[in-house]
Structure 1
């Protein structure tokens, strides 16, 4: 059985928007066809369900920390990243029931907000049950972290156990961040995840202190290592930015997501473009504002022509898990058009996760989900713009 949906605008993403276009859907949500208003009229299509608003594909959240959902509202804003990390460590222990309940609510929130796929960071397997029951597609990124080079083999062995515990769900071992992964551990990660067709992620240049650490071994990360009881006397000044230090240590074979990029420079972008051809750049603007009260240089990233995706980060660093809210922040502070933002939040994210044959756009044979965006000013989002999942 085929049903027909129409709206003020339909955004296929992979092609031009259609004013009063029509989507033909099978009962399981698979796209049968997408018509312009003129094509639908010529075919004399009847029984069309019409909506005021914009029909868009399901949204893709490429960076989330579901297992930190119980920390919502517990960490003050504008602590800076080292301070934020310290508070996550101090407050992470809660009852299993509290953690699971918070994750369930977070998953339900993302589903209600039209999110169909999530790249989720995990340090343990506590989120498996929620993910198995969810209507959302999850790709779990199991973070390996450890700055002491002698522990690399032990760390990767534990990461493999966590990865295996997520079966049958998709899970990949990835580096946490440049300041928490030794060169030896990067080598171990490459051996298990650095292959063509895989997707990996890494937190990148979220704070100025990250660059300062690699360039001159200064900044607040020194206090964080002291708090953690880590002896980093072995670490030598690199004289280069964080990105220019670690990116050559990463395999160039998989699709690689650089997350945050708040302090990425034009020199970093030039370096990255030469080093890796399969880079994706994830923006989590509301988390950046929550932690550092600063956004990446959006214009710089756009001018460089990099492939951008969107993420929410966690409820420890965000008020909500809503890609539309991230889009609004970027529109207001980065002057980005709805067309660009939607591609970032749909097709680009699906391409990074390797699921763009199903998600990301309204195309025949895909099953991307259907959302209705309302309360806009034409094709511009407003503070009270809403998203409603239709399928």
Structure 2
């Protein structure tokens, strides 16, 4: 079988930089077979001017919202942003499938190999069947009224079953809650008891209003519920931040906490005290777009959290590019080594989605795709 041999200025293998004297060897299907010293790599080594690294893993995306690029103004705050998403997402729906196809193509060209994608319905199913990208579809369920929990759960289970029909090498799926402010206690309990359902994902502490709601049943979400005539009479404030109220439902499971813009040290310590595997997904460009604020990434690092990276949607971002997220993190937190942030963008993301055997690193036997990093990202394989 034909071999592909690549040598760059350096190789980042998903975990660390290996140095300039290494050669990446793959078979003709893109499966990694080894990374020997250049002195023992043999002939036909192709030299490239840049750093070689595995394809990125985007652990949080909303492909369904791709037709909403530029529709919602920046820096409105989350409750206002959500209000506009709900009011405007039907506009331009005739262009939704074309927008999703364009966004998926752009992600591939931007070096993304695998995506954790939020879906409220099955409109993205055909796109996922015909894409070189790996997708883990997070079928998102929501409903604030306890009385409606059964019907909401049954609807989302129907969507999940549709996505299960395309499960295979390039697709898996699970059923997940949307956010603490949009899921009732009854619905949380039903979602947490769904069998063979991993990983779980949830939008976590994306705004100060979310924590205020759980502490005192007050704040901007009260107006949000009133706008859409949502019955929250059954909601009782826990007197804590949101994380402490819902996380115990998922004891023994694996969960991706997405955004974490207003997570503090007490929240993180609580999460670490719970018997579950927790990943903290950062979507910095979306956080700046919506709340004009970034998570306390220095605190997450200090507390040795498992960190991955997402892009969120084109409704809340100017592009779906993990590399642009890396650049934003490095711009605002220049003390964090590039090697560490690249790990978040590759092997950590793959571990979070449970696909580390194929994606996120140059471990022999994986097939992660190959990128060339110069000033920008170029996909080689």
Q: Kindly indicate whether the alpha-carbon contact (under 8 Å) linking 2:67 and 2:92 is maintained by their aligned counterparts in 1.
A: no
Q: Deviations over 1:268-292 (max 9, x none)?
A: 0111000143000000000000000
Change (3 A) 1:163 1:44: closer
Q: Kindly indicate whether the alpha-carbon contact (under 8 Å) linking 1:152 and 1:182 is maintained by their aligned counterparts in 2.
A: yes
Q: Deviations over 1:94-121 (max 9, x none)?
A: 4554000100000000000010000000
Q: 1:45: which partner in 2?
A: 42
Q: 1:383: which partner in 2?
A: none
Q: Does 1:144 align with 2:141?
A: yes
Q: 2:378: which partner in 1?
A: 388
Q: Does 1:234 align with 2:234?
A: yes
Q: Tell me the TM-score normalised to structure 1 length.
A: 0.93
Tell me the CA shift for residue 193 of structure 1: 4.8
Q: Does 1:168 align with 2:169?
A: no
Q: 1:1-391 to 2 correspondence within 5 Å?
A: 1-35=2-36, 39-41=37-39, 43=40, 45-166=42-163, 167-169=165-167, 170-193=172-195, 198-249=198-249, 251-335=250-334, 336-375=336-375, 386-391=376-381
Q: Kindly indicate whether the alpha-carbon contact (under 8 Å) linking 2:24 and 2:34 is maintained by their aligned counterparts in 1.
A: yes
Q: Deviations over 1:236-283 (max 9, x none)?
A: 22110011111112x223320000000001000111000143000000
SS at match of 1:372: strand
Q: Deviations over 1:29-60 (max 9, x none)?
A: 0011112xxx221x262211111111110100
Tell me the CA shift for residue 13 of structure 1: 2.2
Q: Kindly indicate whether the alpha-carbon contact (under 8 Å) linking 1:286 and 1:329 is maintained by their aligned counterparts in 2.
A: yes
Provide the rounded CA distance (Å) in 1 between the counterparts of 2:133 and 2:257: 23
Change (3 A) 1:194 1:241: farther
Q: Deviations over 1:328-368 (max 9, x none)?
A: 00011123211111110111110111110011101111111
Tell me the CA shift for residue 168 of structure 1: 1.5
Provide the rounded CA distance (Å) in 2 between the counterparts of 1:239 and 1:293: 26
Tell me the CA shift for residue 16 of structure 1: 4.3
Q: 1:379: which partner in 2?
A: none
Bigger drift between 96-105 and 305-314 goes to 96-105
Q: Kindly indicate whether the alpha-carbon contact (under 8 Å) linking 1:174 and 1:193 is maintained by their aligned counterparts in 2.
A: no
SS at match of 2:222: helix
Provide the rounded CA distance (Å) in 2 between the counterparts of 1:193 and 1:295: 34
Tell me the CA shift for residue 233 of structure 1: 2.3
Provide the rounded CA distance (Å) in 2 between the counterparts of 1:258 and 1:356: 19
Provide the rounded CA distance (Å) in 2 between the counterparts of 1:201 and 1:211: 18
Provide the rounded CA distance (Å) in 2 between the counterparts of 1:234 and 1:138: 36
Provide the rounded CA distance (Å) in 2 between the counterparts of 1:240 and 1:301: 20
Provide the rounded CA distance (Å) in 2 between the counterparts of 1:231 and 1:94: 26
Tell me the CA shift for residue 18 of structure 1: 2.0
Q: List alignment gaps of at least 5 residues for structure 2.
A: none
CA RMSD of aligned residues (A): 1.2
